[in-house]
Structure 1
Amino acid sequence: MDYEPTDYSKVAIREYPARTIRETAEGRYWKQFKAPVLAQQIGPITHIDFKQQWPYDFAITSSTRVLIYSSATQKQVRQFTRFKDIAYSGSFRDDGKLMVAGGQDSIVQVFDAGSRLVLRQMKGHKQPVHVARFSRDKQHILSGGDDATVRLWDVTDGTQVSRLTGHSDYVRAAAASPTSVDTWATGGYDHMCNLWDVRSKQAVMKLEHGSPVEDMAFFPAGALMVSVGGTEVRVWDLLGGGRLLRRLSNHQKTVVAVRLSPRAGPDALAAPRLLTGSLDGHVKIYELDGFKVTHASKYPAPVVSLGLSPNCSTLAVGMADGLLSIRKHAKPKVITGPGAPPEKLKRKPPPLTAANFRFFMRGRNARAGIGDVQVLARRKARLAPYDRALQKFQYGAALDAALAGGQPQVVASVLEELAARGGLTAALGGRDADGLVPLLDHLRKYIVEPRYARLLVGIAHRVIDIYAAVVGASAEVDEKLQQLQGRVKLEVALQADLRRLQGSLEPLLAASLGMPRG
């Protein structure tokens, strides 16, 4: 006798909590960077700097060389070797035409980025120069050295404009304000971040970072500044008088590099991101509303430098063992304005009229909006095999169909439906060896899963009660029962070990928190 699916309600498949945290849109975006292209250098890569103009080539500083890599081909295109000793801080000018670098020999050198000619050699520091940056007006350079001084140079004639004193230890970080050509920030191993007005040659603000400062950067609007050093990232409110806005401790070892990208993330033009690199081998990305980590990447060696292209299409990471990692994004964001790539000529589609096929196919893939009213077509109910069996009150066949599908949440939902109908005994009983083996396999596989354990333990008890009298009649069934017994014993032993471990940890946790025992 056949039944029409008129009043039958399909089994509602129970939804269980996910075992892992679902990937966010932010995480998916950063995971879309392709597999890295690796290039081995002869020394640690201490600095990475991108051009601001398309095609966004970048410079890396390693050992006694500054190398230029192409973002398009990810290959080396140029190198600067005019250094007597170790080079530091190879950086481009905003227009990409000049490059500046410091060195172990305490000389600040300016190069023509195209011809590699040495244009200026500025001498004045008494010890190695680890940081050198062009100013926003393109006419000056700020350098900081291990002699604890900060010096401002005139690019046109190579002379020293001013000498800024205020640090008491090595100066290892500097950043130019995006809103004022006369405002600079420097950080040193004396734990201080100094904000300078080069016109008055005075530090107008001194901020205590709490650890040797390794790197720093201004936010795009210039009102906030970030400094890194030790295991902390600190965000400062400069307009609020240097107030510490946020202290972030998401790394396990010294944070050595920080970058701010105004065009990173899924919504590139509206969602700036903060990137930090650390000696723990991690690069972490923060959103700037709550300063929460939205993504993290692990590298095979301590990270000592990082850089991100202005259009967020290329991520370069330098490591302490000299390994350079270059990753390209699968779908780089398109940007406009100064430095944007030239637009490609695209063939315009023909106008949408009744003369072409697209006119009659329009709207087929459109989705309904929030306020739209959807009129659903009446369709014949399509039932799963276990639903068809349940509709005919064939409980054993329904359980067999669910087991054949191999989806544990479906089997659990069918078992609960059978229990609600009072048909669980009928579904489990009367089985031969061929019908019992799939059920025992399912129990053995999922009986220790927390999501299904409560239900399947009761089912296992029922199965043993029903078939206890015929144990030994089938070698295959006996083997499955032994496997089920072994799985349960293993889980019981594991739970016992965890309880003993918990008992050992509780006094330690209570002591560390200052709580009374018992």
Structure 2
Amino acid sequence: MTSFKKSFVKPFAHTTEQYTVEDSYWKKLTSPVLVKEFGPIDYVHFSQKLPYHFAVSCSARVQVYNPVTKVVTKNINKFKEAAYGASFRADGQLLCAGGEESIVRLFEVNTKSMLRQFKGHKAAVHRTFFTRDGLHIASFSDDKNVSLWDIASQHISGHYEGYHTDYIRAGCVSPVSSNIVVSGGYDKNINVFDSRTKSVSMSVNHEAPVESLMFLPSGSLLISAGGTEVRIWDVLAGKLLAKLTQNHKTVTALCMAKNGSAIVTASLDKHVKIYNVSSFQLSHDITYPSPVLSIDISRDDKTIVAGTVDGIVNITKRDTTLKHNSENKKRLARSEAIVHSDGINMTVPVMQPDQMAKFDIALRKFNYSQALDLVLIHAIAFKKPHVTVFVFDELCRRNGLVQAISNRNQKQLAFLLNFIVRYIGVRKLSKTLTHVASTIIDCYWDIFDSCTFEVRALLIKLHSVVENEILLTKRLLAIDGLVKMLLISSEVVPDITETQKSMKSILKNS
């Protein structure tokens, strides 16, 4: 007796990109911890020193979280109105923040005590940063001014006024020079200030209100975010290098990852996108349940914190344990056996038995109804529809389709009709499913009047879907005819012009 040849189900071609190293790196994310705050999360900033605490600016306070326990360790509430843009100094000991009160405040993180208040702005200060030497604070305000504050003397060491005509909501400082400060305003302009010359060394137009600015670690490339675009600028040459246009809503925040080799962007379209610095190509995408206002990633890439418009602090850890490696080793151990021969270890692959699908076993026993039941479960029908359609094809080939479809209860019939309604419009499946739908109508024609409301509704929906597909096909055929006419006319026109030219030459010669 010959053995039964198991079915070969040809899967659909995958249109998605191949699984990359970046996907493997960023998909090791654990379930997020969600912390509810009292308002939208304005800004998130990580300390550069272990254990990489992060500060969250929200409502009228700044809270410092522990990334391990994910609880608040310091609560700085010295603000009467909203606090904005709290950021750590490089040593993690000091923290500066702006606010709606137009005052720049300096805090000691461990004691939560306020060390300095810098007064001089006339409107809200949305972003504050320590310069590279840690001796000055750069502040960016809605009064359209940029100021540099000397921490020791508590006086202004640099003031830039008249360079912007609208609110300044974005800014950054150079990672390689204590004298370079960059501001981005809602007037779409980006200005690079040099405190040594007290003037603007570079000015470019982002062509959209600027929401965030960031230098790459080298200090020669500047990243700006505004509108739906992220732009990369060469600071030395003062020209645009690239545009990242993957978002369809405003990009609100920028940060770095992987030791400066990845650019991370957050947007109101609920997506956080990660780009490779070397190619500026999108390498990974993380989706959040709400629009993202702020984001930052710890220096070791183990913690990702995103703040959303609905006041949720989303804390996600990246799993860096050897769990995946151990799983791979176990999988390899199951597939291989070690044979000891004369003191030599030889790895021999274990021959796995040829597994047969459950529906193949049912088809082998000519149990067509059971074979159809096995591929009409939700996990197969709506996740691997090509497998279900393959069984339909096999049943048609065996003349067993009527036997498999007949004598089904109302629930099974509704599930079958739901599957056909969903996939009858798919080009690769439509031919088989049209035949199956016709067979169902022939088998159950006499009992449709007594069927449940759900079955009758699905039949009406099936009728509507088929009519829409017919109408679409007619329109496509009409368009195809028009295109062919245009192609034919485009081929004829050159011949006519050549004929006209030859006739003109004949007339001239005559």
**The two structures share one fold, judged by TM-score above 0.5:** yes
Could you tell me which amino acid in structure 1 is paired with residue 284 of structure 2? Answer: T
- The residue aligned with 2:180 is 183
- The residue aligned with 2:295 is 306
- The residue aligned with 2:53 is 57
Q: Does 1:458 align with 2:435?
A: yes
Q: Does 1:327 align with 2:315?
A: yes
- The residue aligned with 1:492 is 463
Aligned to 2:210, the other structure's residue is in SS state coil
CA pair 118-232 structure 1, distance change in 2 beyond 3 A: same
Instruction: Kindly indicate which of the two structures has a greater share of residues assigned to helix.
Output: 2
Mapping of residues 14-29 of structure 1, within 5 Å: 14-17=10-13, 29=26
Mapping of residues 256-295 of structure 1, within 5 Å: 256-263=252-259, 272-278=262-268, 280-288=269-277, 289-292=279-282, 294-295=284-285
Contact 1:167 1:188 (C-alpha < 8 Å) held by counterparts = no
Provide the C-alpha distance between the structure 1 equivalents of 2:100 and 2:186, rounded to a whole number of angstroms.
Answer: 17
Mapping of residues 332-343 of structure 1, within 5 Å: 332=320
Q: How far did 1:497 drift?
A: 4.7
Q: How far did 1:34 drift?
A: 1.7
Provide the C-alpha distance between the structure 1 equivalents of 2:61 and 2:98, rounded to a whole number of angstroms.
Answer: 11
- The residue aligned with 1:155 is 151
Could you tell me which amino acid in structure 1 is paired with residue 371 of structure 2? Answer: A
Deviations 1:234-284 (A, max 9, x none): 2223244322421425132x3332222235xxxxxx952412233x55544
- The residue aligned with 1:403 is 372
Could you tell me which amino acid in structure 1 is paired with residue 212 of structure 2? Answer: D
Deviations 1:311-367 (A, max 9, x none): 23333333445x132323251589xxxxxxxxxxxxxxxxxxxxxxxxxx9973577
Question: Of 352, 357, 364, which residue of structure 1 is paired with 2:333?
Answer: 364
Q: How far did 1:64 drift?
A: 3.1
Provide the C-alpha distance between the structure 2 equivalents of 1:495 and 1:206, rounded to a whole number of angstroms.
Answer: 59
**CA-based RMSD:** 4.5
Provide the C-alpha distance between the structure 2 equivalents of 1:287 and 1:25, rounded to a whole number of angstroms.
Answer: 12
Q: How far did 1:93 drift?
A: 0.5
Q: How far did 1:142 drift?
A: 1.4
Q: How far did 1:95 drift?
A: 0.4
CA pair 480-235 structure 1, distance change in 2 beyond 3 A: same
Aligned to 1:304, the other structure's residue is in SS state strand
Aligned to 2:333, the other structure's residue is in SS state coil
Contact 1:441 1:480 (C-alpha < 8 Å) held by counterparts = no
Provide the C-alpha distance between the structure 2 equivalents of 1:77 and 1:113, rounded to a whole number of angstroms.
Answer: 10
Of the two structures, which has the highest relative contact order with CA contacts closer than 8 Å and spacing of 6 or more?
Answer: 1
Q: How far did 1:134 drift?
A: 0.4
Contact 2:335 2:350 (C-alpha < 8 Å) held by counterparts = no
Q: State which drifts further: 132-141 or 291-300.
A: 291-300
Could you tell me which amino acid in structure 2 is paired with residue 200 of structure 1? Answer: T
Q: Does 1:134 align with 2:130?
A: yes
Deviations 1:50-99 (A, max 9, x none): 11112222222233322222222222222223345443222110101111
Deviations 1:409-432 (A, max 9, x none): 556445545666xxx34x457899
Question: Of 25, 32, 48, which residue of structure 2 is paired with 1:35?
Answer: 32
Provide the C-alpha distance between the structure 1 equivalents of 2:242 and 2:69, rounded to a whole number of angstroms.
Answer: 41
- The residue aligned with 1:508 is none
Provide the C-alpha distance between the structure 2 equivalents of 1:375 and 1:480, rounded to a whole number of angstroms.
Answer: 59
Q: How far did 1:377 drift?
A: 6.8
Aligned to 2:214, the other structure's residue is in SS state strand
Provide the C-alpha distance between the structure 2 equivalents of 1:143 and 1:460, rounded to a whole number of angstroms.
Answer: 68
Q: How far did 1:37 drift?
A: 2.0
Contact 1:386 1:398 (C-alpha < 8 Å) held by counterparts = no
Deviations 1:460-487 (A, max 9, x none): 656877x79xx86xx7x99789998874
Could you tell me which amino acid in structure 1 is paired with residue 282 of structure 2? Answer: K
Could you tell me which amino acid in structure 2 is paired with residue 58 of structure 1? Answer: F
- The residue aligned with 1:237 is 234
Contact 2:336 2:347 (C-alpha < 8 Å) held by counterparts = no
Q: State which drifts further: 212-221 or 62-71.
A: 62-71
- Identity of paired residues, percent? 30
Deviations 1:198-232 (A, max 9, x none): 21122111110112222111122223221122333
Provide the C-alpha distance between the structure 1 equivalents of 2:227 and 2:347, rounded to a whole number of angstroms.
Answer: 58
Contact 2:179 2:196 (C-alpha < 8 Å) held by counterparts = yes
Deviations 1:277-300 (A, max 9, x none): 33x555444444344373242344
Provide the C-alpha distance between the structure 2 equivalents of 1:315 and 1:380, rounded to a whole number of angstroms.
Answer: 44
Contact 2:264 2:272 (C-alpha < 8 Å) held by counterparts = no
CA pair 504-82 structure 1, distance change in 2 beyond 3 A: farther
Q: Does 1:197 align with 2:166?
A: no
Provide the C-alpha distance between the structure 2 equivalents of 1:83 and 1:410, rounded to a whole number of angstroms.
Answer: 62
Provide the C-alpha distance between the structure 2 equivalents of 1:290 and 1:204, rounded to a whole number of angstroms.
Answer: 26
Contact 2:335 2:349 (C-alpha < 8 Å) held by counterparts = no
Q: Which runs of 5 or more structure 2 residues have no equivalent in the other structure?
A: 323-329, 338-345, 477-485, 487-510
Aligned to 1:455, the other structure's residue is in SS state helix
Could you tell me which amino acid in structure 1 is paired with residue 317 of structure 2? Answer: H
Contact 2:303 2:318 (C-alpha < 8 Å) held by counterparts = no
CA pair 237-115 structure 1, distance change in 2 beyond 3 A: same
CA pair 68-504 structure 1, distance change in 2 beyond 3 A: farther
Could you tell me which amino acid in structure 1 is paired with residue 319 of structure 2? Answer: K
Q: Does 1:316 align with 2:305?
A: yes
Q: Which runs of 5 or more structure 1 residues have no equivalent in the other structure?
A: 264-269, 335-360, 506-514
Count of residue pairs the alignment pairs up: 447
Q: Does 1:143 align with 2:163?
A: no
- The residue aligned with 2:102 is 106
Contact 1:428 1:463 (C-alpha < 8 Å) held by counterparts = no
